[in-house]
């Protein structure tokens, strides 16, 4: 085992005998400290004014590629760029041209520069025979490249950019995250789905109620009848906004089901129908597919809030000529989608 330490004053005592330090030793030292995987990492995520483009590769117009401002460390050497760098790419008549946008550390020239590598077989106005993006070159002491993006261009031109930037910093394992450090406010809001089952139904035409699944299919809503099904639920504690609702039915036939979706809700201490919303009679297509169909009926969020108790209702007007399915449908319930905090 060879042990060493950096940096020390003088040249005679302990590890200071390695001084004076060369640029390669300094580059290695910085790479040791800041780079987890030098084959891919290098871009610095910074808010420093003038460098916040983060070396992102974009396509501002036609066949132009643009590399934004930014800072990077390539294998221990620091690179800065204070202005957009634009390059015009060749466009083939047929086939696909491939490119890799790299940041190159050139040992002999003692420079680091953005470069656009072209695949063998690329064509300018002809038939491209290229088969993939060029690989990066990584040879110690000669050339060391890291990829910023891979790019394809076809006639049009149609440009597709795949961002390959990897930012400096080591991998963060779960065990290295301090307990309770990740709060809900730090996690992006996302979509949740809540299912409210259909609990009971009413055959308005016949004047009867049914409070159980009268079939393994769900609650039946017969053809040529006016029927209603009901369900109840509560808005979860992670609710933020953006509610939509879909009424879920099963059917053995195809056609339009015609009816009304409606919601009433209120908090504890409020009357049950403090808030209401719904969509008037609409005809929605039901397609037989694995005995299951989804009606996309949207209901507004209104003044919905965490902890509100919601009553859901769907009324099928199978007496109306706009109801064309010609068969029973069986209600399962309502899918409520909403935006959740984390």
Structure tokens at 23: 């640029």
**Tokens 């030793």 belong to which residue?**
25
Q: How many CB atoms lie within 10 A of CB 331?
A: 26
- What integer pLDDT is reported at residue 289 of this predicted model? 47
CA–CA gap between residue 313 and residue 196 (Å, rounded): 11
pLDDT at 237: 87
Length of the chain in terms of residues written: 342
The CA angle 312-266-282, to the nearest 5 degrees, is 30
Token pair of 291, please? Answer: 């005995």
DSSP β-bridge partners for residue 279:
261
- Output the CA torsion 213→218→219→220 (10° steps): -120
For 17, 73, 100, 167, the CA distances from 186, given in Å and listed in that order, are 48, 28, 34, 20
Assess whether pLDDT exceeds 60 at residue 1: no
Instruction: List CB contacts of 244: < 8 A, sequence separation 6 or more.
Output: 298, 299, 336, 337, 338
158-216 per-position pLDDT tens digit: 999 999 999 987 556 676 677 877 776 777 778 888 899 999 999 999 988 887 655 67
CATH number of 190-340: 2.60.120
Lowest mean pLDDT among 45-49, 225-229, 285-289, 294-298: 294-298
Q: Is pLDDT at 296 greater than 50 in this prediction?
A: no
Local confidence band at 3 (pLDDT 50, 70, 90 cut-offs): confident
Spatial contact of 61 and 84, defined as CB atoms under 8 Å apart: no
pLDDT score of 327 more than 50: yes
Q: What is the pLDDT of residue 173?
A: 65
Which of 88-97, 102-111, 155-164, 260-269 is predicted least confidently? 260-269
Res 293: pLDDT: 46
pLDDT of residue 25: 85
Paired sense of beta strands 143-154 and 138-139, if any: antiparallel
For 325, the token pair is 């399915």
pLDDT the model gives residue 290: 40
Average pLDDT, the chain: 86
pLDDT for residue 292? 43
- Collapsed DSSP state (helix, strand, coil) of residue 139: strand
104-122: average pLDDT: 96
Determine the pLDDT at residue 71.
96
- Residue extent(s) of CATH 2.60.40 domains in the chain: 57-167
pLDDT above 80: residue 295: no
DSSP percent split of the chain into helix, strand, coil, nearest 5:
5, 45, 50
CA–CA distance, 308 with 233 (Å, rounded to integer): 9
State residue 197's pLDDT score.
92
Numbered ranges of CATH 2.60.120 in the chain: 190-340
Predicted confidence at residue 9, as pLDDT, reads 82
**Residue 64 forms beta bridges with which residues?**
61, 88
The reported pTM is: 0.54
CA atoms of 103 and 149, how far apart (whole Å): 10
Q: Identify the pLDDT of residue 275.
A: 81
Q: Which CATH architecture has domain 57-167?
A: Sandwich (2.60)
Percent of the chain beyond pLDDT 90?
47
Rg (CA), the chain: 32
Mean pLDDT of 213-238: 86
More confident residue, 235 or 149: 149
Q: Is 300 a residue whose pLDDT tops 60?
A: no
Q: Give me 100's structure tokens.
A: 């890799």
Share of residues in the chain with pLDDT > 70 (%): 91
Query: Over the stretch 26-85, which tens digit does the pLDDT of each residue have?
Result: 888 888 888 888 899 999 989 999 999 999 999 999 999 999 999 999 999 999 999 999
């Amino acid at each position: 085992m060879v042990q060493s330490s950096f940096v020390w004053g003088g040249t005679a005592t302990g590890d200071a005998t390695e001084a004076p330090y060369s640029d390669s030793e300094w580059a290695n030292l910085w790479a040791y400290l800041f780079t987890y995987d030098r084959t891919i990492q290098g871009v610095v995520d910074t808010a420093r004014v003038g460098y916040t483009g983060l070396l992102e590769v974009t396509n501002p117009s036609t066949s132009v590629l643009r590399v934004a401002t930014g800072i990077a460390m390539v294998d221990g050497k620091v690179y800065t760029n204070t202005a957009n760098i634009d390059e015009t790419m060749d466009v083939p008549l047929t086939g696909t041209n491939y490119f890799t946008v790299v940041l190159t550390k050139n040992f002999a020239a003692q420079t680091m520069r953005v470069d656009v590598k072209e695949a063998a077989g690329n064509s300018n106005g002809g038939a491209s025979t290229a088969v993939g993006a060029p690989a990066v070159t990584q040879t110690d002491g000669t050339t060391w490249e890291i990829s910023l993006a891979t790019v394809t261009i076809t006639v049009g031109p149609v440009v597709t950019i795949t961002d390959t930037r990897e930012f400096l910093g080591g991998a963060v394992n779960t065990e290295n995250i301090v307990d309770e450090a990740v709060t809900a406010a730090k996690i992006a809001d996302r979509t949740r789905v809540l299912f409210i089952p259909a609990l009971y139904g009413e055959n308005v035409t016949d004047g009867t109620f049914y409070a159980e699944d009268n079939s393994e299919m769900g609650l039946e809503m017969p053809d040529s009848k006016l029927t209603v099904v009901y369900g109840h639920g509560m808005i979860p504690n992670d609710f933020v906004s953006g509610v939509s609702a879909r009424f879920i039915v099963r059917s053995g036939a195809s056609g339009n089901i015609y009816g009304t979706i409606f919601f009433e809700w209120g908090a504890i201490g409020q009357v049950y129908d403090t808030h209401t919303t719904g969509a008037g009679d609409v005809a929605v297509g039901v397609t037989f597919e694995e005995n299951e169909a989804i009606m996309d009926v949207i209901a507004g969020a209104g003044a919905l809030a965490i902890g509100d108790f919601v009553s859901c209702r769907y009324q099928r007007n199978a007496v109306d000529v706009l109801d064309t399915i010609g068969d029973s449908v069986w209600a399962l319930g309502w899918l409520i989608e909403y935006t959740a905090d984390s």
